[in-house]
């Protein structure tokens, strides 16, 4: 089969840990052809299908010059997305306006016959911070507001809180305010932009010292190991992007219960790959854009997450598109 990966520039890949690279490597091992493009390469014009300038690549197995490309320039070959057996959307956040527009182009490609994973409409319908509201039985005390008075009341009740922007990624813009309330007003003004932007506020979970666990769910089934991202050096954030230490470990009973409750629901909506973030026993985020941690889990446990993903992807391609017709 022919797989198209819509991703960040290949030059930005850190292949020793990149999940998209792991997917490509397993796809090639299984005999599938690999093409790549960036979001900026997508194009639609009346009278024709959604197309992209693509590069057909082969992985070399080398650590530096890790691929060869049939096209020397990124704009040599335009191909309709519907001509690929599947399109795997792996553009990293932020989920900004350009990402939003890309989902509409990909959805148009679906109408033309393309199979896109994760399903573009499902990605739009599941903002990664707000999606947890649907599953409130699994989350800790949480407030979503733009009103400073609401935030002050929430702090007065819980005394130790976390504030974060709804469009943040990699731990950016996350603040902790302890019992003394120091700088709560200033932090609120910074995040809600003088009342113009909604923020999320959550009770601080002391279990963060044991890690912010990334639980991967593929085809509705939980990967048996998670990656606990443990804060380092006095940080409150465990994100790998800000220096957290990743430690793979088996799922706890609570982790598995959350994954088993959410997995089939989200898969039924067209989300083949989901990353659940869990601190202690509480769900904190549902990642649907480009969940990671495949290689860290494999390196530490030997469980081949990429193999599980490519198997689920090929299984999905043999069946009608979940969440409605493509």
Q: Is the CB of residue 234 less than 8 Å from the CB of residue 192?
A: no
Exactly one of 55, 115, 164, 203 is catalytic; name it. Answer: 164
| Cα Dmax for the chain | 62
Question: Does residue 164 have an active-site annotation?
Answer: yes
Exactly one of 115, 119, 203, 237 is catalytic; name it. Answer: 237
Question: Does residue 287 have an active-site annotation?
Answer: yes
Exactly one of 118, 192, 239, 287 is catalytic; name it. Answer: 287
Question: Does residue 214 have an active-site annotation?
Answer: yes
Helices (H), 159-293: 184-192, 253-268
Query: Which CB contacts under 8 angstroms, 24+ apart, belong to 59-67?
Result: 59/24, 59/25, 59/28, 59/34, 63/15, 63/16, 66/13, 66/15, 66/21, 67/10
Question: Does residue 285 have an active-site annotation?
Answer: yes
Question: Does residue 152 have an active-site annotation?
Answer: no
Pairing of strands 55-59, 33-37: antiparallel
Cα-Cα-Cα-Cα dihedral sign, residues 137, 283, 149, 125: negative
Exactly one of 203, 214, 239, 255 is catalytic; name it. Answer: 214
Exactly one of 91, 213, 229, 269 is catalytic; name it. Answer: 229
At 13, list the tokens: 């890949």
Question: Does residue 18 have an active-site annotation?
Answer: no
Report how many helices (DSSP H) and strands (DSSP E) the chain contains, helices first: 8, 19
DSSP 8-state code for residue 39: G
Question: Does residue 26 have an active-site annotation?
Answer: no
Exactly one of 25, 55, 129, 203 is catalytic; name it. Answer: 129
250: left (phi over 0), alpha (psi -120 to 50) or beta: beta
Question: Does residue 229 have an active-site annotation?
Answer: yes
Exactly one of 18, 212, 277, 296 is catalytic; name it. Answer: 277
Residues designated catalytic: 129, 164, 214, 229, 237, 277, 285, 287
């Amino acid at each position: 089969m022919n797989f198209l990966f819509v991703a960040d520039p290949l030059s930005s890949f850190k292949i020793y840990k990149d999940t998209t690279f792991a997917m490509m490597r397993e796809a090639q091992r299984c005999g599938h052809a690999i093409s790549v493009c960036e979001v900026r390469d997508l194009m639609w014009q009346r009278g024709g299908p959604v197309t992209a300038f693509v590069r057909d690549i082969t992985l070399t197995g080398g650590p530096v010059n890790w691929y060869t490309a049939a096209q020397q320039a990124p704009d040599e070959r335009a191909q309709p997305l519907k001509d690929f057996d599947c399109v795997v959307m792996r553009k990293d956040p932020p989920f900004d306006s350009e990402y939003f527009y890309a989902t509409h182009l990909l959805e148009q490609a679906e109408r033309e016959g393309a199979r896109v994973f994760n399903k573009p409409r499902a990605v739009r319908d599941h903002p990664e911070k707000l999606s947890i509201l649907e599953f409130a039985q699994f989350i800790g005390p949480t407030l979503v507001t733009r009103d400073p008075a609401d935030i002050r009341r929430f702090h007065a009740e819980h005394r130790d809180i976390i504030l974060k922007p709804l469009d943040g990624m990699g731990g950016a813009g996350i603040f902790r305010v302890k019992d003394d309330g120091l700088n709560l007003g200033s932090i609120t003004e910074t995040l809600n932009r003088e009342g113009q932007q909604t923020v999320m506020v959550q009770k601080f979970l002391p279990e963060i010292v044991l890690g912010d666990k990334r639980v991967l769910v593929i085809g509705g089934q939980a990967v048996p190991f998670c990656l606990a991202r443990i804060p380092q050096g006095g940080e409150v954030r465990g994100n790998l992007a800000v220096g957290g230490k990743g430690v793979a470990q088996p799922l706890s009973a609570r982790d598995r219960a959350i994954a088993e409750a959410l997995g089939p629901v989200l898969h039924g909506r067209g989300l083949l790959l989901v990353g659940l973030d869990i601190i202690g026993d509480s769900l904190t985020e549902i990642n649907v854009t480009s969940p990671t941690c495949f290689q860290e889990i494999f390196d530490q446990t030997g469980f081949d997450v990429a193999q599980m993903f490519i198997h689920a992807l090929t299984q999905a391609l043999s069946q009608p598109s979940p969440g409605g017709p493509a």
